[in-house]
Structure 1
Amino acid sequence: ACNRVNDLADTVQTSLDTLDQAQLDSMMQDLPEITAQLKKVDVDALNKVLTELPALMDTVNSLQTQVQNISNWFSSLGSVFGR
C-alpha cells in the first residue's frame, strides 16, 4: 500500500512539475467555485438515480426493441402493398 501511495505521489508531483504556472493558478482560482458546486450535490438523490439507472436502461432497451419490431412490421406491410 505504501508503494502505491508513493507511486501516486510521484505521479502527482511529476504532473505538477510539468504544469504551466498560469494553468495551475487558473485551476486554483476555479477550485472554490468547484467546491461550492460539489457542496450543492444531493448525494442521496444522486445515489437513488444511480440505483435506478439499470432498471431504466432495461426499459429503454425494451422500448428500442419494440420500436424496431414496429418498424419492421410497417416495412413488411409496405412490401405487401408494393412500397
Structure 2
Amino acid sequence: MQLTDLLNMDMGEVSDWLMENAHKYHLQPKPTIVDSPEDISIVGEDILVNDGCDWSIDHVEHCPDRGVNYMANNTEVEAYMPLPPSP
C-alpha cells in the first residue's frame, strides 16, 4: 500500500484501512530546525539531533552558572525531534 492508494479510496474505505492498520505506524512530527541548543524546547531528555549529516541521540543540559543551554555530548545541532515512543 502506498499513500497514493489512499487517495483513490472513498472515505469509508480509508477509515476502515486506518482502523485496521493504525497499530502498525507511529506518526512522528517533522524535525524542528534550530540555530543553537537554546532553541530546543526539550531539556534534560534524550532527543534525536541532526548535525547536518547524521542523526544521533543527545540531550540538552542547562548551565545554571552561565544561564545557557548546551548539548551534553557537544553535538553541533541543526535540527531535532523527540524520540519515538518505545513499543
User: How would you bin the TM-score normalised by the shorter chain?
Assistant: under 0.3
Q: Which has the higher strand share?
A: 2
TM-score by length of 1: 0.21
Whose relative contact order is higher, 1 or 2, with alpha carbons under 8 Å and at least 6 apart? Answer: 2
Q: Which has the higher helix share?
A: 1
Structure showing greater radius of gyration is 1
TM-score by length of 2: 0.21
